[in-house]
């Protein structure tokens, strides 16, 4: 029998929160970040959009019952 770990669930939820924050920063702040990071704005924005999907999936996994 697999015992669910509260620590692992909290770690997954924290990953979802910080991935979501990074997603919002990259998506909406790509114009300001591009010159600082010397990366194309489109790359940053598309990475942010990918992270939105990733954060939603990880958040969903973190709230599921074991």
Higher-confidence residue of 2 and 41: namely: 41
What is the percent of the chain where pLDDT is above 90? 77
Q: Report pLDDT for 66.
A: 66
Please report whether residue 1 resides in a domain: no
Res 65 pLDDT > 80: no
Structural domain count, the chain: 1
Please report whether residue 16 resides in a domain: yes
Which tokens hold the place of 24? Answer: 């919002």
pTM: 0.84
d(CA 42, CA 55): 20
Residue range 37-43: mean pLDDT, rounded: 97
Please state at what angle helix 6-28 crosses helix 30-37, rounded to 10 degrees. 90
Residues spanned by the domain of 28: 6-63
């Amino acid at each position: 029998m697999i015992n669910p770990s509260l620590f692992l669930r909290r770690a997954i939820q924290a990953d979802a929160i910080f991935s979501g924050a990074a997603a919002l920063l990259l998506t909406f702040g790509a114009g300001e970040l591009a010159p600082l990071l010397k990366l194309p704005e489109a790359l940053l924005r598309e990475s942010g959009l990918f992270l939105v999907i990733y954060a939603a999936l990880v958040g969903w996994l973190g709230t599921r019952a074991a």
